[in-house]
Structure formats: C-alpha cells, structure tokens
C-alpha cells in the first residue's frame, strides 16, 4: 500500500502548515517518506496502517520525548506536534485509516553504506547503552505485554520454517545455531537481566556522521521488554557484517556498552550464541517473506551479510576468553587412567572443548578446520542428527527382540541404497563388530576359514579383525600373519590385474573369502584398478569364495562419484561391512549380505547384539541418510574432491620460497577420501619427516591432517562431508607454504 504524493503534500500542509515534496523510502513494515521544503528543510513522515499499534505508538512517542531531554537525545528522532497540538495525525486513503507522525530528518549516512573505523563502534556501543539506561524504569502495560516476530527471545519459533532457507549450507549452519540456542541459552534465559531495549539496532537504523561518529539511531518500532543482552547481540549482528575486522568490532561494541551498563558474566557467555541466532532469524524471516505473496526488497537487505557471517562465525571458538592450558599436565593426567597404547595425535596434543560441522574448538580459544575426521560423516554435532537422537532417547530405547518402526524404516532406507541382491541386514554397534560378524557369516556360508586380504589392510580391532589386518599383525607389536590368511603383497602391484586367476587345484576344497577396503586407507589411500578388482573377485568366485567389501571408511557418498566405494570398480559384493559414517559419531555398524548367506546363518543359534539396531541408533542413522540427500553431500564430495585432485601440485619440486627437498609424487583417492604422497627429490625415498612436519605445521595454522601409509609419508585427507569449496581453497593456500 502507498499514498500518492499529491495527497500527502496536501495532508502535510493542512496539518503541519508545511509545503513539501515527497519521495518514498524503504521500510520493513511502516510506510516511510522523505519530505523536503523549498528552503531545504527535511522531515520524515512515518505512516502505520495498523490501528492496533496506536497504544504502542503513543507510548513510543512518550519515550522519545523523554529521551530528547537526555544527553543522548540529539541522536534520536522525536515526533513533531501537528496544528492541533497532537503527535499523532490520522490519515485516510481508500477507506483505510492510518496513523501518521512527522519527525525531523537526521543527517548522516547509513552504517550499511559506510565503513567507519573501530572507534565508531565503541561510540555505537556507548550510545545504545545510554538509550537502555535512560529507558530503564519506563514501565507500562503496553510495553510489558508487547512482543513481535523479530523479538530475539522468540527465536525458536522460526525453527519450524528453517526448511524454507533454500541454500543447504545456510540451512545447516542456521539449524546448528538454533540447536545451540536451545541447549545453551534457553536453560538460563530466566536468569538474564531484563530491560526495555530499542531492539532493532540494524545497520539501516544507525547513521554515521562525516567525522565517523554516531549521527543518529532511528526507528523505535521494535522496542520491547526483553533480555538486556539481546540489545547488544542485535547491534553486533549487524555491525560485524561485511567487516574483515569483525572481531575488533565485536570487542569495541561490548567495550562501549559496558562503559555505561556493565554486563554480567552470564550475559557475556551467551553472546556468541545470541549473535548467531539473530543471523538465523534474518535468514528465516527473509525466506518466509520470499514465500509470501507480498515480497519486499527491504526484507532481503540483510540476507547476504547474515549468510556470510554465519559461515564466518561458526569458525570462531565460542571460548572468547581462552583458558590457560598446560598440555603436559593434561597428558600426564591422561596416562593416570589409560594405557599408553591409547595414543594422542600431534607432537603437542590438543585439548578439545567443542565442535561444529567441519570445525573443532580447543580450550585455548583456537578453531581448527577438521580435514581428517571421517567419523562425524555429515558434520560434528549436526543439528538434525543430534535432535533425532535426543528425541528418540526421551521416548524409547530397547533392542531388536521387540518390534518398533524405526528399525524397519532404517533397514528399508539403508537397503534402498544397495543392489537388490544385498537384501538382508544385521545391525551391530561398530565397524569392528561388523567385521567379526562378517567372518562368521562367511565361514558359515563357505564352510572354510581361508581369507584373501590386501596388504596394509585394516578391518577393525577385534581378534578376528586384527587377523585380517596386515596393518596391525605385520607391524610393531603384531604377531605376524595367521596361517589361514593370504596377503596380496606389494601395494604397487595392486593397481594392475593379477597375472593369473586364483584357480583352485584339482580336488582341493579351499574357497576363499576376499576381504577388501574399497580404497585402502592405512596403505595411504590406495585406489585400486577396476581390472584388478574385477579379476580378483571373479577368481575368488570361481573357487566358490565370496567377496566382502569393507565400506567402513568409504561408504555413504564419501567417494563422491558413487555412494559406495566398491561401485568405483563395477563389482557387487556378497557382503558389505558398514561402520563409522552410519551414526555420525554415534556407535553404529552393520553387515549387509545376500539372502543365501543370511539363510545359511540360520542354524538355530540366535544372533543378538545388545545395542545393534536399537531405536536411538536407527533414528540417528535415518537422520544421517536424510542429511546426505537433503544437503547434496555426495555431490559436494565429488566437486570438492575433484577440485583438490586438480589443484594440488603433483611433481613440482619448486615451492614459492625456492627449492625444497621433497615433492608430491601422487594425489590419489576419490571424493573426500584422498592421500597426498611425498617423496624426497634426490633419493626418491618416502619423505616421512617432511610429511609429519607439514601435518604439525598445518595444525598450527588451524588445519587438522594426519599421515599414513607404509612409510608414513602420505598426508591423509578425509574430512566431514560438509567440508566446503572455500575450505578446500584455504587448505591449498596454506599447504602451498610447504608443498
């Protein structure tokens, strides 16, 4: 709705004795007009079409007139009396009665269009603190009862519409902050000091003068009683947008506010989550408006900035005050309770205090980009996964001896991603337990205990799994190869077809079970040749053996180009082992097999796993599968993985700073499961020391990586699946210092 300028000009002349020309201004809800006289005087005409606002507008006028008498008053709008001596004038257009008010125009540039220095933000914090201080004690029923959709204390109401955010990355991060608000803020919200606040300190309501000071703070239409700290959070959310020095802005606003009104320790501890919540609110409210029949360009004005800041903010450690951590003492404490067989990563271990999606937070205030932890498959603390577990845990958790819908639903969803021949599933609670069960299934079906494994394979930590894992039994502390296990030696030969099929000797009954990781992780992310896999599987089956695909690390879309790693080779397993990614950190595992193998296992002995397939695990597993699809994470793995394969400088022996003693011999793998092999320039030997040093140096730069392979010279890369293209670009930029 809008008014014709001629109608407004007559209205102003009749009621304010002013001859003006009008131009329409943007606004979220009210109609706003700039009025200019011939002599150059300027005014703002605000029109509200909601008659229910009349009591609040009267209250707002009273507060603004009171503030006008205070030192802060010259920065604030105050209503002008009409010819009848009233601050409100009714205006009718097309039969609608609206409420009009006239204000003096405050000169200045909008903060949204300015880039003041840091001193401005101290001034800004101080100004809002003065407003809140002067409004304290102004109480009436209208203000006490008032609320509106932008009230930050009502943030959880937007959760039901978070699906309206079109970008899956924005949706994921916004959902995370809503979850953190529920967990961190809601339980203590009642303890927060309350006050009458301006409530809308956005960058279009803040004016900057020519010398970089606050020129004005306008639009008190969102004023309400709320938690006092919400005022600071809202100001910060908009003040930091578009600033590379956003943390300096953060500190400056808080410093300025506390000059007048010191904040409590509780208020300060929640600011991180409240600021993030405001950006979430911005995205959802804009998405709602986009869906509505009356979209407004002004409704979208902060979307880009809010989106950018959410992705920046999640990289900030919530511990703004870093704790002093004495790592040596923490390590010593660890080994009071644990064997030294339970190892730690890095020369200087990290004490972690939290994580969010592809980021991890340490107790000293640092943030790390997680490039190696593939267990939180869809992201650390992914809100959909967390909430699924919390919800089901509060309802029912039992075992598979009972009927419950989540077991069938999850089994159906999981099997829908597998070939029709793989149609029976057994749930356990780890990849190692899955290997153990796969051994039992294989032996029951083949009647034999002969196994064929890849060199440097790792299949788990149970006794049976260790017996199939050269990575364990052939290394330090291992007891060597069991007699019933044949190792395909020489990893270099694994990438070409074997010279001849594995034929059974005449009269010999020795069907073998071939266990194979789809990409051999501990060997240094070795991706096998299609011909090798096809010929080996065919040879095994010619001996009446079976093929077991270990998808504990490579499954669920990680390899990008396919959902399962074995699909890279155009082979179909007889048994598939699943683990780590299933529960995003919740302990889950599964064995999927053919109907024939499952029936052969039905000997009369019950199979039972106390925790495998419980309702909580099933709901978590379903959530993981849904997230992979909803957020397009398999495609993300493909795009980011292909980008890294193309960008990493294979074969280059020159660094930006000059010559070096090693180079990248190969970057291999698929999707978000890659290995970067380093070789010494002169000797051609594995560059083990260089690889280890790079991993430790990258840790200091905020990137978590690790090494693997027979000589520990392969930098291993297998991050959460939400690892973004921006993360990949930053990884390459930082690795460029050393490779």
Backbone φ, ψ for residue 244 (5° rounding): -70, -25
Three-state SS annotation for 674-727: EEEEEEECCCCCECHHHHHHHHHHHHHCCEECEEECCCCCEEEECCCCCCCHHH
Q: Say if residues 451 and 485 touch (Cβ distance below 8 Å).
A: yes
| Joined tokens for residue 149 | 């959709």
Q: What's the angle, vertex CA 671, arms to CA 669 and CA 675, rounded to 5?
A: 35
Distance separating alpha carbons of residues 90 and 689, to the nearest angstrom:
80
β-bridge mates for residue 670, sequence order? 673
In 3D space, the residue among 479, 483, 468 whose CA is nearest the CA of residue 552 turns out to be 468
- For residue 345, the model assigns a pLDDT of 85
Secondary structure of 92-152 in the HEC alphabet?
Answer: EECCEEEEEEEEECCCCEEHHHCCCCHHHHHHHHHHHHHHHHHHCCCCCHHHHHCCCCCCH
**Tokens at residue 232, please?**
């600071």
Tokens read off for 137: 């004690």
What is d(CA 29, CA 513) in angstroms, rounded to the nearest whole number?
70
C-alpha 87/C-alpha 80 separation (Å) is: 6
The kind and range of the H/E element at 550 are: strand 546-550
Strands 654-655 and 589-594: unpaired
Q: Are 127 and 177 in contact (CB under 8 A)?
A: no
Q: State both tokens at 63.
A: 């507060």
Question: Which H or E run contains 580?
Answer: none
Q: Is the dihedral of CA 215, 218, 253, 56 positive or negative?
A: positive
Considering Cα of 77, then 83, then 86, then 88, what sign does the dihedral take? negative
Measured on CA atoms in the order 423, 428, 434, 438, is the torsion positive or negative?
negative
pLDDT recorded at residue 476: 86
Q: For residue 119, what is the enclosing H or E element?
A: helix 118-135
The whole-angstrom separation of Cα 539 and Cα 674 is 29
Q: Where are the alpha helices (DSSP H) in 377-522?
A: 383-393, 405-415, 431-446, 463-466, 470-473
Q: Reduced to 3 states, what is the DSSP secondary structure of residue 379? A: coil
Give the up-direction half-sphere exposure of residue 530: CA atoms within 13 A in the CB hemisphere.
Answer: 5
Query: From CA 583, how far away is CA 622, in angstroms rounded?
Result: 9
The neighbouring-strand residues paired with 679 are: 663, 686
List the chain residues with pLDDT less than 50.
491-505, 507-509, 656-657
The answer to whether 79 and 68 have CB atoms below 8 angstroms apart is no
Q: What angle do CA 257, 263, 266 make, to 5 degrees?
A: 145
Would strands 20-25 and 31-37 be described as parallel, antiparallel, or unpaired?
A: antiparallel
DSSP state of 212: S
Q: What is the largest CA-CA distance in the chain?
A: 114
Q: In Å, what is the CA distance from 325 to each residue of 320, 329, 345, 701?
A: 14, 9, 17, 18
Contact criterion met (CB below 8 Å) for 194 and 225: yes
pLDDT value at residue 294: 62
Tokens (6 digits) for 204: 């279009």
> Structural domains in the chain?
5-104 (3.30.200.20), 110-313 (3.90.1200.10), 352-374+635-735 (3.90.1150.10), 383-499+509-631 (3.40.640.10)
Residue with tokens 């430790």: 696
pTM, two decimals, is 0.89
Phi, psi angles (nearest 5°) of residue 457 = -70, 155
Give burial (CB, 10 Å; 0-12/13-18/19+) of 145. Answer: exposed
Q: Please state, in angstroms and as integers, the Cα–Cα distance from residue 62 to each residue in 52, 147, 158, 231, following that order.
A: 17, 19, 32, 21
pLDDT at 319: 83
Label the pairing between strands 214-217 and 206-208: antiparallel
Q: What angle do CA 706, 707, 710 make, to 5 degrees?
A: 155
| CB distance 646 to 661 below 8 Å | no
Which pairs with CB-CB distance under 8 Å and at least 24 residues apart come from 95-100?
96/1, 96/49, 97/51, 98/31, 98/47, 98/48, 98/49, 99/47, 99/48, 99/49, 99/50, 99/51, 99/53, 99/54, 99/57, 100/11, 100/45, 100/46, 100/47
Q: Is 45 helix (H, G, I), strand (E, B) or coil?
A: strand
Residue 92, classified by CB atoms within 10 Å of its CB into exposed (0-12), middle (13-18) or buried (19+), is exposed
Handedness of CA 480, 483, 486, 490 (dihedral sign): positive
Rounded CA-CA distance 122/99 in Å is: 36
Q: Taking a C-beta distance cutoff of 8 angstroms, is the pair 601, 137 a contact?
A: no
């Amino acid at each position: 709705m809008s008014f014709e300028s001629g109608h407004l000009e007559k209205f102003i002349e009749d009621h304010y004795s002013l001859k003006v020309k009008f131009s329409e201004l943007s606004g979220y809800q009210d109609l706003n007009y700039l009025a200019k006289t011939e002599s150059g005087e300027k005014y703002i005409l605000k029109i509200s079409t909601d008659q229910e606002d009349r009591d609040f507008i009267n209250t707002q006028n009273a507060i603004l007139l009171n503030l006008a008498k205070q030192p802060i008053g010259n920065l604030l709008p105050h209503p002008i009396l009409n010819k009848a001596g009233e601050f409100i004038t009714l205006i009718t257009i097309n039969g609608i009665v609206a409420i009009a008010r006239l204000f003096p125009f405050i000169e200045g540039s909008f903060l949204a269009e300015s880039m003041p220095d840091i001193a401005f933000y101290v001034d800004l914090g101080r100004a809002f603190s003065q407003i809140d201080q002067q409004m304290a004690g102004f109480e009436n029923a209208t203000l006490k009862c008032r609320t509106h959709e932008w009230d930050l204390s009502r943030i959880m109401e937007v959760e039901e519409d978070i699906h309206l955010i079109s970008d899956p990355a924005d949706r994921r991060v916004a959902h995370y902050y809503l979850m953190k608000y529920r967990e961190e803020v809601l339980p203590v919200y009642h303890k927060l000091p309350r006050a009458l606040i301006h409530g809308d300190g956005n960058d279009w309501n803040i004016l900057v003068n020519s010398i970089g000071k606050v020129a004005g703070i306008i639009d008190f239409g969102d004023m309400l009683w709320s938690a006092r700290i919400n005022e600071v959070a809202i100001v910060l959310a908009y003040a930091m947008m578009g600033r590379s020095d956003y943390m300096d802005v953060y500190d400056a606003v808080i410093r300025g506010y506390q000059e007048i009104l010191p904040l409590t320790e509780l208020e300060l501890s929640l600011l991180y989550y409240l600021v993030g919540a405001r950006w979430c609110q911005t995205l959802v409210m804009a998405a709602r408006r986009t869906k509505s029949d009356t979209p407004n360009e002004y409704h979208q004005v902060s979307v880009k900035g809010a989106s950018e800041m959410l992705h920046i903010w999640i990289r900030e450690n919530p511990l703004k005050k870093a704790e002093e951590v004495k790592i040596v003492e923490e390590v010593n404490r660890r080994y009071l309770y644990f064997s030294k067989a339970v190892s730690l990563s890095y020369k200087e271990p990290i004490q972690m205090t939290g994580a969010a999606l592809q980021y991890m937070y340490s107790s000293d205030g640092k943030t790390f980009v997680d490039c190696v932890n593939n267990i939180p498959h869809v992201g650390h603390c992914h809100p959909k996964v967390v909430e699924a577990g919390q919800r089901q845990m509060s309802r029912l958790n039992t075992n598979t001896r009972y009927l419950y819908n989540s077991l069938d639903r999850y089994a159906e969803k999981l099997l829908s991603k597998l070939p029709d021949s793989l149609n029976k599933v057994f749930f356990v609670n780890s990849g190692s337990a899955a290997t153990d069960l796969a051994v039992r299934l294989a032996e029951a079906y083949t009647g034999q205990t002969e196994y064929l494994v890849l060199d440097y394979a790792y299949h788990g930590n149970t006794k049976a799994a260790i017996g199939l894992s050269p990575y364990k039994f052939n290394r330090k502390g291992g007891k060597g190869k069991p007699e019933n296990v044949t190792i395909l030696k020489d990893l270099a030969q694994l990438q070409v077809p074997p010279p001849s099929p594995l034929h059974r000797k005449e009269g010999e009954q020795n069907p073998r079970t071939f266990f194979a990781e789809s990409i051999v992780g501990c060997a240094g992310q070795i991706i096998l040749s299609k011909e090798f896999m096809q010929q080996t599987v065919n040879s095994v089956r010619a001996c009446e053996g079976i093929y077991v695909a270990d998808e504990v690390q490579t499954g669920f879309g990680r390899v990008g180009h396919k959902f399962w790693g074995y699909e890279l080779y155009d082979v179909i397993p007889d048994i598939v082992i699943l683990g780590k990614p299933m529960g995003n950190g919740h302990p889950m595992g599964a064995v999927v097999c053919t109907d024939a193998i499952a029936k052969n296992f039905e000997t009369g002995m019950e199979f039972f796993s106390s925790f495998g397939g419980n309702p909580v695990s099933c709901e978590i597993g379903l959530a993981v599968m849904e997230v992979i699809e909803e957020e397009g994470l398999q495609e993300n793995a493909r795009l980011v993985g292909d980008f890294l394969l193309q960008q990493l400088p294979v074969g280059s022996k020159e660094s930006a700073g000059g010559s070096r003693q090693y180079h990248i011999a190969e970057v291999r793998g698929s999707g978000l499961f890659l290995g970067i092999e380093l070789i010494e320039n002169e000797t051609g030997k594995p560059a083990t020391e260089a690889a280890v040093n790079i991993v430790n140096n990258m840790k200091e730069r905020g990137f978590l990586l690790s090494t693997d392979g027979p000589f520990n010279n392969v930098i291993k890369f297998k991050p959460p699946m939400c690892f973004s293209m921006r993360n990949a670009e930053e990884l390459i930029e930082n690795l460029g210092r050393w490779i």
